[in-house]
Each structure stands twice: as structure tokens, then as C-alpha cells.
């Protein structure tokens, strides 16, 4: 079934993505190397492939697909279509990865009831052809849980579906095909591959280890609290590893004593380059900081809907509220060659809200998350749930960034008659926003119940 459970998954995905409802304003000049490259509300995951950005699209009722977009902007090129692929509902999953030479995608194929029919790993050059290189059926009792790419090599990690079950891993390349890593296990679970090294989640004691790819020998260790299970890490070709923990980002590696980088507490989805640490802060905003730590530099607007991040040696990419953006590492900063396609304004609705009809007026809370000039402007629109799609009420708003306001909506006569006949109303929220879109509460996920005065 194409798009099964998509509406529910989108709502849940957006719900868990809301870390902080209202964020600080964004100045477009915060980092001149940050540009938007691909705007699509169906964008679900991103990976960097040299001069191209690879984006996974998962539209409602249609096949999922991979498209390659020039990193400095340009026409997207479809490179793969996958029928009946389940929505990637988990946050922070590593199911899409890429390099200049290879892209890899883990796809869960579903039946009409949403049950898993097959797991597939697709791989090939970023511009194609991309083919199925491995399949697993539910009866196999193994599931692919993560993938990583380094050059022509792909790291595939599989696990039993039960909690704390066994783990196995493979390395795929053009010369040798799929080769198992003999040392991989639940106590040494590979996460990321770079050069001759692998970063792995280690047990007994709990830690992140930098291992020799060939032998599994542990060359460096980042200790973790026993209650902390972190696979939010980034491995450099020289063996340095950055690990996000509750205390901040720790940096270590062979011959390098682990140290906590100042100013990095709260960073997640991290990526390490030669001189720069990228990540997202508590607001979901992409930031950068030098590898010595310090005050993070904002790279783009705040968002309540951060779906995916990725990095390579030259920068960092992310999907924020349906738009893929890329920030270049300072040494590679270049101006964009075309207009930024991303929506610049983002508003947020509460998922559940209520109001009381006053004459022909109702109100709804609206939050301004991001706006290029400091104020979100537009028209809030309420539609009758499961109705004909026509606006039941609407009202203009002008809300400063980082603030929330109750916006008054005027109810149509037709909707008023429905409310009076039914004794109440059930609406879903929409909006018209110049150069903008709804973030949290989009796709009909924000519901507004209307009660009438004197009615229970």
C-alpha cells in the first residue's frame, strides 16, 4: 500500500520534532555560506554526495523516491522510485547515506495493512543506477537498522527485532561485494565508517569506541554514563570522533585524550569536519562551532520541524520544514547561483486547541517560529473537519518571531449554521502565508474544537 498510515506518521513525526515551540528570530546574514537547495513538503531525509544533495521524498499516496539536486541549486534529477515504502517514522534514523561515489538507502516495504513484507538495501552511484543489493524477509528475524557510506564503501548494520538482541554488520564495496565484519556484535555495534576506522557503541562499560575496521581493535574510547546510550556521533578519516552527550560534545581519538568542548551542551545531530563541528541546538536550529568549542554560530532559521541532517568533509545539510538547506565549511564557502527556494516564514499551531464562539468570532493560538523581517504575517484558516474543504473561519495575523498570539477568526454564515445545528464544531487549521508555510500542526494535524456559550 502506497502511503499507508502516512497522515498518522506525519503527525507523530512532527509532534516529536517539536523541541521548543517558539524560537528566536533569524537573520539571513547569519552565515553567507548557507543556502536552500530544494523545497518540497514531502522531503523526508537528506544526504550529501559531493556536488549533489540526495533527498528522499515520501509523498502521500505515491511512490517514495530519491532525487539528486545540485548543491549550489538547480534542477532535481530523479534517481530511484520505490513502491510501497513505509514512512520513516523514527527520528534520528540512519537509513539514508551518501558520498561522492555511492548512495545507500534502507527501505521497509509494506503490505496494504502496513505490515512489513520485506526489508531492502538499495545502493549505487548518486546519479544512478541504484539497485537492490540486499533483501531480508520478516521470517529471517533480522532487520537493517542503520547504514553509513564512506567513499565507495557502505556499512550496513542489522539487528534482531527484539530489544537488546544480537547485532551483525557488513561492508559493501564494488570490488568485494557484501563482506561481514567478524567482530561486530551487540557489545561492539558499528555506527559510522571513515577511512580505516569505525565508531562503535560499546558495552561493558558503556562507551563509544574508535575501532580498527579490519580487526575490531579498540584504538580510542569516549566514556559514557551508564544510563546514556548515544549513537549521535561523527567520525573523521583521521580517527577523531565527536560524541553528543547530555553534558555536551566530547571529542577524542587515537592519541587524543577525550575532552568536553565548551559551549556545546544541547547540541545534537552532530557532524565533524577537519575544522568545524556542525549540529542542531535545542530549538532545532542548525549551528556550527570550531573544533575547540565556543559559542555556536546560527546557520539558518529556527524550525519546529527538523526531519533529517547529514554531513560530509565540506559541510552540513538538513531538512527544515520541508526544505533542504546546505551550509559549507568556511574554507569552501561559496555564494549561491540561484534564488533560495525555501519558505522563509514558519508558523506553528497547537495540535489540540479549543475556543468558544462569541457571536461570529472564534480564536486560535498561533506561534511565529521564523520570519525574515521579524514578524510572521498571513491569514489563519479553519476548515470543518471532514467537511467540503471550504474555509469555515479566517483571520489575519501579524506576530513577532518567538511569540504566540490568539488570533481572532470570523466564522462564515454556513459554518455558523453547522455549529448551531450540531451544538459544537470540530475544525482543522490551515493558513495562507506569503513565502511561508505551517510547521508544527500542518497537514490537518492541528485540531480546533468550538463550543457554544451555554453548551456543555
pLDDT band, very low/low/confident/very high, at 27 (cuts 50, 70, 90): very low
- Grade residue 338 by pLDDT with cuts at 50, 70 and 90: low
Query: Do 369 and 346 form a contact (C-beta atoms < 8 A)?
Result: yes
Indicate the pLDDT class of residue 336, thresholds 50, 70 and 90.
low
Q: What is the pLDDT of residue 28?
A: 35
Q: Give the tens place of pLDDT for each residue, 231-250.
A: 899 999 999 999 999 999 99
Cα dist. 210→98, 162, 164, 381 in Å?
A: 21, 26, 21, 53
Burial class (CB in 10 A: 0-12, 13-18, 19+), 115: exposed
Q: Would you state the pLDDT for residue 171?
A: 98
Q: Which stretch of DSSP H or E encloses residue 176? A: none
| DSSP result, 65-78 | EEEEEETTS---EE
For residue 190, the cross-strand partners are: 200
Q: How far apart are CA 245 and CA 206, in angstroms?
A: 13
- Confidence (pLDDT) at 184: 97
More confident of the two residues 65 and 62 = 65
pLDDT at 334 over 80: no
CA-to-CA distance for 82 and 72, rounded, in angstroms? 27
Fold of 345-451: Immunoglobulin-like (2.60.40)
Taking the domains of the chain in order of start, what are their residue ranges? 6-332, 345-451
Q: In 3-state terms, what secondary structure has residue 402?
A: coil
Decide: 181 and 171 in contact? Cβ < 8 Å: yes
DSSP assignment of 286-307: EEEEETT--SPEE-S---S-EE
pTM of the model: 0.87
Give residue-wise pLDDT tens across range 194-224: 999 999 999 989 999 999 999 999 999 999 9
Superfamily per CATH, domain 6-332: YVTN repeat-like/Quinoprotein amine dehydrogenase (2.130.10.10)
User: Within 10 A of 453 (CB to CB), how many other CB atoms are there?
Assistant: 8
Amino acid at each position: 500500500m502506497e502511503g499507508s498510515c502516512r497522515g498518522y506518521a506525519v503527525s507523530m513525526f512532527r509532534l516529536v520534532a517539536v523541541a521548543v515551540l517558539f524560537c528566536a528570530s533569524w537573520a539571513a546574514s547569519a552565515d553567507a555560506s548557507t543556502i536552500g537547495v530544494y523545497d518540497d513538503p514531502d522531503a523526508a531525509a537528506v544526504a550529501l554526495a559531493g556536488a549533489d544533495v540526495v533527498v528522499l521524498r515520501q509523498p502521500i499516496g505515491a511512490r517514495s523516491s530519491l532525487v539528486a539536486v545540485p548543491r549550489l541549486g538547480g534542477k532535481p534529477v530523479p534517481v530511484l522510485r520505490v513502491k510501497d515504502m513505509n514512512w520513516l517514522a523514527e527520528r534520528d534514523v540512519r537509513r539514508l547515506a551518501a558520498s561522492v561515489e555511492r548512495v545507500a538507502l534502507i527501505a521497509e516495504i509494506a503490505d496494504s495493512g502496513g505490515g512489513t513484507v520485506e526489508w531492502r538495501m538499495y545502493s549505487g552511484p548518486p546519479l544512478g543506477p541504484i539497485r537492490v543489493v540486499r533483501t531480508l524477509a520478516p521470517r529471517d528475524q533480522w532487520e537493517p537498522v542503520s547504514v553509513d557510506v564512506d567513499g565507495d564503501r557502505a556499512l550496513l548494520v542489522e539487528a534482531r527485532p527484539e530489544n537488546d538482541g544480537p547485532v551483525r554488520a557488513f561492508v559493501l564495496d564494488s570490488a568485494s561485494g557484501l563482506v561481514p565484519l567478524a567482530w561486530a556484535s551487540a557489545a561492539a555495534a558499528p555506527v559510522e565508517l571513515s577511512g580505516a576506522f569505525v565508531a562503535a557503541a560499546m558495552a561493558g562499560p558503556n562507551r563509544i569506541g574508535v575501532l580498527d575496521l579490519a580487526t575490531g581493535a579498540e584504538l580510542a574510547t569516549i566514556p559514557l554514563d551508564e544510563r546514556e546510550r548515544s549513537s549521535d556521533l561523527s567520525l573523521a578519516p583521521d580517527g577523531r570522533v565527536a560524541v553528543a552527550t547530555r553534558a555536551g560534545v566530547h571529542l577524542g581519538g587515537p592519541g587524543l585524550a577525550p575532552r568536553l568542548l565548551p559551549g556545546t551542551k544541547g547540541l545534537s545531530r552532530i557532524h565533524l569536519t577537519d575544522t568545524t563541528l556542525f549540529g542542531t541546538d535545542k530549538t532545532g536550529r542548525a549551528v556550527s562551532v570550531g573544533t575547540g568549542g565556543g559559542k555556536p554560530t546560527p546557520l539558518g532559521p529556527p524550525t519546529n520541524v527538523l526531519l533529517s541532517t547529514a554531513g560530509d568533509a565540506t559541510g552540513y545539510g538538513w531538512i527544515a520544514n520541508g526544505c533542504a538547506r546546505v551550509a559549507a565549511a568556511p574554507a569552501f564557502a561559496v555564494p549561491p547561483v540561484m534564488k533560495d527556494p525555501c519558505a522563509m516564514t514558519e508558523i506553528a499551531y497547537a495540535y489540540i486547541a479549543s475556543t468558544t464562539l462569541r457571536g461570529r468570532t472564534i480564536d486560535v493560538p498561533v506561534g511565529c517560529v521564523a520570519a525574515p523581517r521579524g514578524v510572521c504575517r498571513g491569514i489563519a484558516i479553519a476548515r470543518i473537519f471532514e467537511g467540503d474543504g471550504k474555509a469555515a473561519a479566517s483571520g489575519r495575523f501579524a506576530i513577532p518571531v518567538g511569540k504566540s498570539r490568539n488570533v481572532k477568526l470570523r466564522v462564515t454564515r454556513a459554518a455558523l449554521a453547522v455549529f448551531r445545528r450540531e451544538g459544537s464544531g470540530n475544525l482543522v487549521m490551515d493558513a495562507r502565508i506569503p513565502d511561508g508555510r505551517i510547521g508544527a500542526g500542518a497537514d490537518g494535524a492541528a485540531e480546533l474544537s468550538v463550543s457554544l456559550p451555554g453548551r456543555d
